[in-house]
Structure 1
């Protein structure tokens, strides 16, 4: 068994469900040697683990992680936010792998915007008065917030 930096068991490079590969080690030996010599590391990912399937169902289904992004430690040090997204593609038996090096900011909800025409709605004042009358309580006290509209 080959020992690798970053992949302690890269013999399981073809991580799979549903079948047994024979002779995988000899098939990927040159790749493992290159991987070790270059000291490559695998980039983190989000999404499904397996990146390929044979589009079969049941006993005949095989899913494998064939597709990966790897980099040198130097590149990863200069791109610390690098992450790979595995996304489903309907036209292929492989997932799409999308590399992002930007810090992913969570999307913010759209800010509330008051529309001036709302005040013309007949039930507007009653609705606002009801919304601003809040019953709140904690362990020690209860209070009522009430505001004139």
Structure 2
């Protein structure tokens, strides 16, 4: 599936473009003259997609991935540049998400906003209000910003030295339910040719139908007096990039795996120990 922003295409031009893409389908929001325009393209053999809602700056679809065997909501976004317009768009999308019962969400596009000052290099300082509004939108929507493996800035003005300005305007916020044991979620830059924006590839691999038992922290583990120091050690050694919520989630995943290994090899499997004690008591 491909998410396009600032296509500068009319709806008719977008549909004509699809005639050159055999095996692909698409939905387009018409540009206002030479400004804006967004679209979503998908392979018929890989996705089933239907339109849910479309506006000038965003397009929402319901999709089914045949390879993952999962339904999800996808939203393609081209954020405005003015703060008031951004507030309006964030409010629209928040209201839309609040009405959705589908828990699997993927937002993608050029948000024309950064989450913090570290995501901008050069140029004038960003308005604090714009960053706060965008950060609140991501957090209040219960989304996680996916870490990009091979870079920081997604847009550049292509100038050199002190005239260069680079920002992370493009991203893929997703719902945390994607970050499960059964899914591997990765994002990386693709080579950039003539655009000021680097394309981003979001890769999701896994099979949701492989149901695993829920992890449960056993109170019996506290009997080991070294457990607290072990937890502190694992927390420090688990280092991940991305948003704070993403880092915390990955740290907790890391500690869960460490606890399972510790229980099996150090503490020994407590369920086996319970069974052993019960059978010994019955034998007595």
Alignment of 1:95 onto 2:198 = yes
Is 1:81 the equivalent of 2:81?
no
In structure 2, the CA distance between the partners of 1:22 and 1:38, relative to structure 1 (3 Å rule), is: closer
Match of 2:119 in 1: 15
CA distance in 2 between counterparts of 1:19 and 1:61 reads 8
Out of 41, 57, 62, the residue aligned to residue 165 of structure 2 is 62
Residues 1:90 and 1:72: Cα distance change in structure 2 (over 3 Å): same
Structure 1 residues 30, 17: closer, same or farther in 2, change over 3 A? closer
Distance in 2 between the 1:53 and 1:101 partners? 27
Q: Secondary structure at the match of 1:101?
A: strand
What is the Cα deviation at residue 11 of structure 1?
2.9
Instruction: Compare the two structures and name the one with the higher helix fraction.
Output: 2
Deviation of 1:79 after TM superposition, in Å, equals 5.9
Classify the secondary structure of the residue corresponding to 1:26. Answer: helix
Alignment partners' CA distance in 2, 1:46 and 1:88:
14
- Shift of residue 51, structure 1, vs aligned partner: 0.8
C-alpha distance in 2 between matches for 1:79 and 1:41: 17
Q: Note the residue ranges of structure 1 that are not aligned, 5 or more in a row.
A: 1-8, 104-149
* In 2: Cα distance, 1:77 partner to 1:68 partner: 20
Higher RCO, 1 vs 2 (CA within 8 Å, ≥6 residues apart):
1
Match among 129, 148, 168 for residue 26 of structure 1: 129
In 2: Cα distance, 1:77 partner to 1:43 partner: 14
The structure with the larger Rg is 1
The structure with the largest strand share of the pair is 2
Residues 115, 131 of structure 2: 8 Å contact kept:
no
CA–CA distance in 2 between the matches of 1:71 and 1:27?
A: 21
Task: Give the TM-score normalised by structure 1.
Answer: 0.53
Which of 121, 133, 152 is 1:49 aligned to? 152
Runs of 4+ in 1 over 6 A off after TM superposition: none
Superposition deviation, residue 15 in structure 1: 1.1
Gaps of 5+ in 2: 1-113, 207-284
What is the Cα-based RMSD across aligned positions, in Å?
2.4
Counterparts of 1:96 and 1:79, CA distance in 2? 26
- Normalising by structure 2, report the TM-score: 0.30
2:71 alignment counterpart: none
Secondary structure, in 3 states, of the residue corresponding to 1:77?
A: coil
